[in-house]
Amino acid sequence: MSTILNELQVEDAKLHLTRPLATPTDLSVDATKEISGALTAILADVYAIYMKTKNFHWHMSGAHFRDYHLMLDEQSVQLFAMTDDIAERVRKIGGKTLRSIGEISRMQRILDNDADYVEPADMLAELCSDNKQLAAELRAAHTLCDDCGDYSSVSMIDNWIDQTERRVWFLYESYCH
């Protein structure tokens, strides 16, 4: 048996990478593409915020170390839990989602912070801003999903917005006082 692909097999493989999955759904092909794209971009941002939250958790110091360290750990667990739900939702409706760290890096809209040192208050303020940006992106996806009749995604996004607003609240109350 030959492992070399003929031209027809190569073309078929390329088509497989670009066509939607055959997952049964009553959503239109266009709705599936739009929703999958929006949720996958959000997934990249959630991974970016997760990594930044862990970065700041690991590099936290100062008078409120324990409180901030624990809060960021709780928030990172919550963010990581979102990733599987988002990716599986994309797959359930027939879409394709992230495959690599490189793809996350290309798609993320949340900026990384690779600074050697960041003041604790600045860490919290930056995460607060990032989570506010995520909440706005979730609201836009909520509208898209509602317009397309994807009520399961709407329901899930409702919960993610609530979780994100809670993170914003805790971060804001921690750094502004």
Q: How does 147-159 read in b/e, with b if 16+ C-beta sit within 10 Å? A: ebebeebbebbee
The answer on pLDDT for 11 being more than 90 is: no
Q: What is the DSSP letter of 63?
A: T
Quick: pLDDT tens for 65-97: 999 999 999 999 999 999 999 999 999 999 999
CA angle (86, 28, 84) in 5-degree steps: 10
Q: What gap in Å lies between CA 53 and CA 31, rounded to an integer?
A: 32
- pTM for this predicted structure: 0.87
Domain residue ranges in the chain: 29-175
Predicted confidence at residue 24, as pLDDT, reads 79
Cα separation, 120 vs 65, whole angstroms: 8
Reduced to 3 DSSP states, what percent helix, strand and coil does the chain have, rounded to the nearest 5? Answer: 75, 0, 25
Contacts of 151 (CB under 8 A, 6+ apart): 145
| Amino acid letter for position 75 | Q
Domain 29-175 belongs to what topology? Ferritin (1.20.1260)
pLDDT at 13: 53
Lowest mean pLDDT among 10-14, 38-42, 63-67, 142-146: 10-14
